Amino acid sequence: MRLLKVDTLDEAREKLLRATASKILQTETVHFTQSLGRVLADDLKSNENIPGFRKSTVDGYAVRAADTQGVTESIPVFLDVIEEVAIGSAPDKTVGPGQAVYVPTGGMLPEGADAMVMIEYCEKFDETSIAVYDAVSPGRNVISEGEDISRGQAFLKKGSRIRPQEVGVLSSAGVSRPEVFKPWKITIISTGDELVGADETPQKGQIRDINTYSVMASAMKHGFEIVDMKVLKDDEALLEAAVREAMETSDIVVASGGSSQGEKDHTADVMDRLSGGGVFTHGIALKPGKPTILGYDDKTETVMIGLPGHPAAALMVFELTAVWLYRQLTCQPEPKTTIAEITENVAAAGGRTTCLLVELEEQEPKDDVKRTGVCKAYPIFGKSGLMTTLTRADGYTMIDVNDEGLKEGQQIKVILF
Amino acid sequence: MRLLKVDTLDEAREKLLRATASKILQTETVHFTQSLGRVLADDLKSNENIPGFRKSTVDGYAVRAADTQGVTESIPVFLDVIEEVAIGSAPDKTVGPGQAVYVPTGGMLPEGADAMVMIEYCEKFDETSIAVYDAVSPGRNVISEGEDISRGQAFLKKGSRIRPQEVGVLSSAGVSRPEVFKPWKITIISTGDELVGADETPQKGQIRDINTYSVMASAMKHGFEIVDMKVLKDDEALLEAAVREAMETSDIVVASGGSSQGEKDHTADVMDRLSGGGVFTHGIALKPGKPTILGYDDKTETVMIGLPGHPAAALMVFELTAVWLYRQLTCQPEPKTTIAEITENVAAAGGRTTCLLVELEEQEPKDDVKRTGVCKAYPIFGKSGLMTTLTRADGYTMIDVNDEGLKEGQQIKVILF
């Protein structure tokens, strides 16, 4: 057994960032209707004001606000109606003192007018005039030109993940083909003589393969493109061939399994050999997830990760390394966390950062103090070989390597799955 | 203008549930590798124990724990090694007193043994025996048969959304084709003479269509299947033809636009006529989102929703009605909320539930009291016609119709986008 220094999670991430600094992140344009969940590769600026005109938010009359000063429910002002604006059309006339123009919701205000009176406060007086029973201030019931997006404004930032509202804004601003990051191509390899497929019945000593599929699903969720998935017998030559092929086709190759010491050495050896000495992390001081290999091949720009064999550990480490790196390089903000109170004391793992799974329970608002109850976080203990610890979990919290643990009632930040 | 009673959000949802109680929710089976994000249509029970054998979590020797009692670093016990188990194979022999069997991580324990000693605490003594320097208790370093999932256990519940870890568990349990709810088929209609496409340059008084695409993206995000999207001029006959067609092809039809009173009446009239009087809600006491129409056609089992025309309101109301209903009917749990402190006083809208958009800012942990700072929620005010209020928002909170508003520093529950 080789004795190699283990990195802290922060050290390992630092090395990942340094090693991959020269990796080129490719971009592409996609039609905005296909852009949900994608990540913007550049700030988006608008060449125009949105809306491009002053827009009414109500059905009613465009007026000069000054004309309505002093008006009350019993003392109306009488205004001449000089035009009716149709929705989608520009008005022809300018509103002068004592004049008004009908504008429907979403319609364009005419020149001269500076406010809208809701139709509920107006009464037809005769064929050409109305009585107005409400005093409005300038700007009332009006969206001004450029109020949503002003010309030149960066209205969406590089690294933003596109949600439904961003799809709407892309349409609004006329950005029909935004530039987004290309998904990273990933090859997922699992090794182990004990693995059989999901459709097979395992014999004694065998288990159905888990890691290939949970890592695949996590990769899909986080916007990677699955190039290949391979389940291999534990054989160094097979692994080498698979990693070599992946280096030609993929941005990142992850190999899980190798849970026994011999296999672990295979993975590190193969990756280090093929990358010309590019493996820089031989273990992370992380619970679960110690047997993690990190490397990078400069020539093919391939990120290489050896994941722990235990299923829960493999999935967590994939998210804490591969997904974390991709989010960093594509300038995505940290995922939002939620605050919860831990329900019991939890000891930290000596000398290791602990990734603690938790189940959340929302609390009823505490009415007496007008405070919502912070939700409870029940720690989920369990061997990292148990996948159901992860299906019970709503998220996880990180206990720092220097922390002595968590105290019952302490507030923690939970990263939701 | 018709005077119709407006429902509270709770009343409207109650009516939706009652009206759609007889709607049949169809299910289908999908390959588990394609099941990410889908919702389980039934509890999943296991016909077998997972793992199906006692599994070692370490590289080492399977022993009878009793044989190691009293052992220390200086007083080893000597055991005869009678077999080496290969990973993926069943052992041939039974461990008797004074005997041990080598088992790699993930390998199967032989009969007779009840614990694993890590290889680090063992030393080869001669060709057939080892010295053991660690006392282990029964079950040490062993996952027992069925510890992950026991035979007959409902290991995943109806209504669960499938995440990466559930994909892994499906594989582990050999459920290669889980039964999931079919996505609802949706037709999205936007009406308005002022609307032009995202590729077009609006003239004065025109705007690019937003609602079609933001609602489409929200529908995609929440697992609906887009059957059709139509942008129509404001014409009752066109709307009627489109809704009629949607009733034949879709589970749900939403029509947005109709922001002016005349158009609003069109939508309600058309939906009520085509469903034979099936419209039951003519407005919700909700800010934003008052002009919302809800209905249901029994014959074609079509949910009908008229959304407000203002873009931010249209998207919020879609999520608070259509998405809410689908989640309810498919037994999905309420979305997780996060706790935050509101940064300023917010007045409630008199007589209406307020859906307040917020931007979240995480706080540094407060070390003195060992408490993580609850994140701050900045309220986003802005007219519901402004789409960028939604792109700035991380989520929203609901202020109850009976609540007098929020006080600065008060904790609120935020539903994240």
Predicted local confidence at residue B97, as pLDDT: 97
Which candidate from B214, B337, B338 shows the least CB-CB separation from A165?
A: B214
Cα separation, A172 vs A146, in Å, equals 12
Tell me what the mean pLDDT of segment A342-367 comes to: 86
Q: Tell how strand B129-132 and strand A60-63 pair up.
A: unpaired
Q: What residues of chain B, 289 to 308, have a C-beta less than 8 Å from chain A?
A: none
Q: Which of A81-85, B256-260, B392-396, B397-401 has the lowest mean pLDDT?
A: B256-260
Contact A210 B172 (CB under 8 A): yes
Q: Specify whether the CB–CB gap between A108 and A55 falls below 8 A.
A: yes
pLDDT at B257: 79
What pLDDT, in 10s, does the model give residues B94-118?
999 999 999 999 999 999 999 999 9
The answer on pLDDT for B371 being more than 60 is no
Listed residue (B224, B387, B222) closest to B314, CA to CA? B387
**Residue B166 three-state SS:** helix
**Residue A284: phi, psi to the nearest 5?**
-120, 140
- Single-letter amino acid code for the residue at B137: S
Q: Is A2 an 8 Å CB contact of chain B?
A: no
- The confidence score (pLDDT) of residue A1 equals 42
Three-class SS state of B107: coil
Query: Are B181 and B330 spatial neighbours (Cβ–Cβ below 8 Å)?
Result: yes
State the pLDDT at residue A408.
Answer: 92
Instruction: Please list, in sequence order, all residues whose beta carbon lies within 8 angstroms of the beta carbon of residue A341, skipping any fewer than 6 positions away.
Output: A374, A375, A376, A377, A409, A410, A411, A412
Of B50, B212, B412, the CB nearest to A372: B412
Alpha-carbon gap, residue A414 to A337, rounded angstroms: 5
- pLDDT digits 0-9 by tens, B60-102: 999 999 999 999 999 999 999 999 999 999 999 999 999 999 9
- Helix H segments across A299-409? 311-318, 324-329, 388-392
Residue B308: pLDDT above 80?
yes
Mean pLDDT across chain B, nearest whole number?
93
What is the C-alpha to C-alpha distance for residues B121 and B275, in angstroms, rounded to an integer? 76
Among chain B residues, CA nearest to A170: B198
The C-alpha atoms of residue B412 and residue A393 are separated, in whole angstroms, by 23
pLDDT tens digits, A240-277? 999 999 999 999 999 997 656 666 678 999 999 999 99
Distance CA B161, CA B389 (A): 29
Short-list B354, B281, B345, B346, CA closest to B313: B354
- Tell me the one-letter amino acid at A233: K
Best A48, A194, A397 residue to mutate vs chain B (most B CBs within 10 Å): A194
| CA–CA dist A292, A307 (Å, integer) | 5
B1: its two tokens = 């203008």
| Residue B336, both tokens | 């997780």
The two structure tokens encoding residue A145: 């030109």
Q: Report CA dihedral (A281, A286, A287, A289) to the nearest 10 degrees.
A: -20
In angstroms, the CA A118 to CA A34 distance is 39
What CA–CA distance (Å, rounded) separates B389 from B396?
11
The C-alpha atoms of residue B83 and residue B113 are separated, in whole angstroms, by 12
Residue B367 predicted with pLDDT over 70: no
Q: Considering only alpha carbons, which residue of chain A is nearest residue B395?
A: A336
Q: Which of B170, B204, B212 sits opposite A53 (nearest CB)?
A: B204
Q: Phi, psi at residue A37, to the nearest 5°?
A: 85, -10
Query: How far is Cα B124 from Cα B385, in angstroms, rounded to an integer?
Result: 77
Q: Give CA–CA dist B74/B61, Å, rounded.
A: 19
Cα A377 to chain centroid distance, Å, stands at: 23
DSSP string, B272-335: HHHTTS-EEEE-BSEES--S-EEEEETTTTEEEEE--SSHHHHHHHHIIIIIHHHHHHTTPPPP
pLDDT above 60 (res A367): no
Residue reference for tokens 């009629």 = B244
Provide the shortest C-alpha distance from residue A179 to chain B (in Å): 16
What is the mean predicted confidence (pLDDT) over B123-141? 96
Query: Does A59 sit within 8 Å of B194, measured CB to CB?
Result: no
* Confidence (pLDDT) at A214: 97
Looking at beta carbons, which residues of chain A come within 8 Å of B412? Answer: 372
Sort out which chain A residues have CB atoms less than 8 A from B417's CB and list them: 163-165
Q: How many CB pairs under 8 A join A and B?
A: 323
Could you check whether the bond before residue B97 is cis, i.e. omega within 30 degrees of 0?
A: no
Contact between B370 and A410 using a beta-carbon 8 Å cutoff: yes
Residue B20's pLDDT is 97
- For B345, the 3-state DSSP assignment is coil
Residue A381 has pLDDT above 50, yes or no: yes
Q: Cis peptide before A138, with omega less than 30 degrees from 0? A: no
Quote the DSSP letter at residue B67: G
Q: Is A202 on the interface with B (CB under 8 A)?
A: yes
Structure-block tokens of residue B254: 């939403």
Quickly state the pLDDT bin for B289 (edges 50, 70, 90): confident
Q: What is the pLDDT of residues A36-71, one digit of tens each?
A: 999 999 999 999 999 999 999 999 999 999 999 999
Query: Has residue B364 got a pLDDT over 80?
Result: no
B296-305 per-position pLDDT tens digit? 999 999 999 9
**Residue A382, pLDDT score:** 81
- Nearest residue to B87 (alpha-carbon basis) of A239, A264, A265, A192: A192
Beta strand extents in A320-364 (DSSP E only): 337-342, 346-347, 353-361
Instruction: Centre a 10 Å sphere on the Cβ of residue B28 and count the other Cβ atoms it contains.
Output: 12
Inter-chain residue contact A167 with B393, CB threshold 8 Å: no
- Alpha carbon of A22: minimum distance to chain B alpha carbons (Å): 30
Residue (of A280, A273, A250, A257) closest to A189 by Cα position: A257
Q: Write down the pLDDT at residue B262.
A: 66
Q: Is A347 on the interface with B (CB under 8 A)?
A: no
Plot region of A201 (φ>0 → left; ψ -120 to 50 → alpha; else → beta): beta
Cβ neighbourhood burial of A189 (10 Å; 0-12, 13-18, 19+) = buried
Q: Mean pLDDT of all residues in chain A?
A: 93
Which residues have C-beta within 8 Å of that of residue B237, sequence separation ≥ 6? none
Q: Is the pLDDT of residue B384 over 90?
A: no
Please state the rounded mean pLDDT for residues B320-328.
98
- Beta bridge partner(s), residue B398: B355
Q: Per-residue DSSP letters for B234-279?
A: S-HHHHHHHHHHHHHH-SEEEEEE--SHHHHHHHHHHHHHHTTS-E
Helix B211-221 / helix A164-172 crossing angle, nearest 10 deg: 160
Distances (CA, A) of B188 to A36, B182, B300: 17, 18, 17
Tens-place pLDDT, residues A199-228: 899 999 999 999 999 999 999 999 999 999
Does the beta carbon of A417 lie under 8 angstroms from any beta carbon of chain B? Answer: yes
B88 closest CB neighbour out of A148, A194, A213: A194
Q: CB distance from B405 to chain A under 8 Å?
A: no
Residue A303 CA to residue B302 CA, distance in Å, equals 49
Q: Are strands A279-282 and A293-297 parallel, antiparallel or unpaired?
A: antiparallel
Parallel, antiparallel or unpaired: strands B55-56 and B142-143: antiparallel
DSSP single-letter state for residue A333: P
Mean pLDDT in residue range B355-361:
94
Phi, psi at A269, each rounded to 5°: -60, -50
pLDDT score, position B1? 43
Task: Inform me whether the pLDDT recorded for B334 exceeds 80.
Answer: yes
Using DSSP, state whether A46 is helix, strand or coil. coil
What lies within 8 Å, CB to CB, of A237 at 6+ separation is none
Average the pLDDT over each of A6-10, B14-18, B385-389 and give the range with the smallest value.
B385-389
